[in-house]
Amino acid sequence: MVKALVACRAGVGSSLMLKIKLNEVISEHDLPVQVEHSSLDGLPSFDGPIVIALSDVAEELQEQGIDKVIVGIKNILDKNEIYAKLSDALKQVQA
Amino acid sequence: MIEKIIKENLIKLHVKSHDWKEAIKLSAQPLVDNKIVTPNYVNEIINSVNEYGPYFVIAPHVALAHAPGEAGAKELAMGISVLEPAIEFNNTNNDPVSYVFTLSAPDSNSHLKAMQELVYLLTDDNFYQILSNSQKPSEILQYINDSVVKQKIGK
């Protein structure tokens, strides 16, 4: 299992909704990913390779140069977008 | 669950604002009036947009306005505001915003069920029609109730 962290500023709203949608995609496509969610404060203690956030937060994280595969989601209801980006991230991690 | 945290007096229709800040303030006002969130909570929502960008515009035309619980979320509740006209939140992917859901969540887990139901509602095209065309908050609440019952039967 590959660990992925869904992070948002507060850890109670958008990250939770994104996690719900991610889990739908993961079970539909049987992806080897285990998702946790937290606020951005949870990031330093997260030991997995993938961080998923809404695109604004993802850009911010990218600028900070965090050593993770960072996935930015624009529309949390769009399962195609989530699937495409998550599979990409998985390929990078497994390469 | 979600039908219990969205109260009729937290739903505002035909909300007119000039910019995203005003839209957030007007959407959160019923929660402040009902002492569900503190005024500081509303300021914190606006501050986080200034700091991180409009990250809570989660899908086309939909904003989930929220801040960390410790900023002043006193009880679990959600308000709905329908903006007329729709307002630019500077989120290029999902602008303009017509529907603002203001979430007050004191902790990070007790509302999981409600959020699942909200995700379900937001993937239902009829829900947006109801939001835009309802004349009374009770019509929206009725639709949400029916939807939750349908989800339960579906499972």
Q: Rounded mean pLDDT of B78-103?
A: 96
pLDDT at A42: 86
| CB nearest B55 (choices: A8, A12, A38) | A8
For chain B, what percent of residues have pLDDT higher than 70? 99
Residue B22 belongs to domain with CATH number: 3.40.930.10
Domain ranges of chain A: 2-94
Provide the phi-psi class of B61: left if phi over 0, else alpha when psi is between -120 and 50, else beta. Answer: left
Q: Do A16 and B108 touch (CB under 8 A)?
A: yes
Mean pLDDT over each residue of chain B, to the nearest integer: 93
Contact A75, B93 (CB under 8 A): yes
Domain count, chain B: 1
Task: Please tell me the number of Cα atoms within 13 Å of A70 on its side-chain side.
Answer: 19
Q: Quote the domain boundaries for residue B64.
A: 2-154
In contact, B40 and B71? CB cutoff 8 Å:
yes
CA quadruple B45, B21, B112, B30: dihedral, nearest 10: 100
Which CATH code for domain A2-94? Answer: 3.40.50.2300
Yes or no, beta carbons of B64 and A8 under 8 Å apart:
no
Q: What stretches in chain A show pLDDT beneath 50? A: none
- Give the gap in angstroms from C-alpha A32 to the nearest C-alpha of chain B: 22
Among chain B residues, the shortest Cα distance to A21 is held by B119
ipTM exceeding 0.85? no
pTM value is: 0.91
Catalytic pick among B18, B61, B66, B111: B66
Amino acid, res. B41: Y
**B101 to each of A6, A66, B75, B122, how far by Cα in Å?**
20, 31, 15, 11
pLDDT, position B108? 75
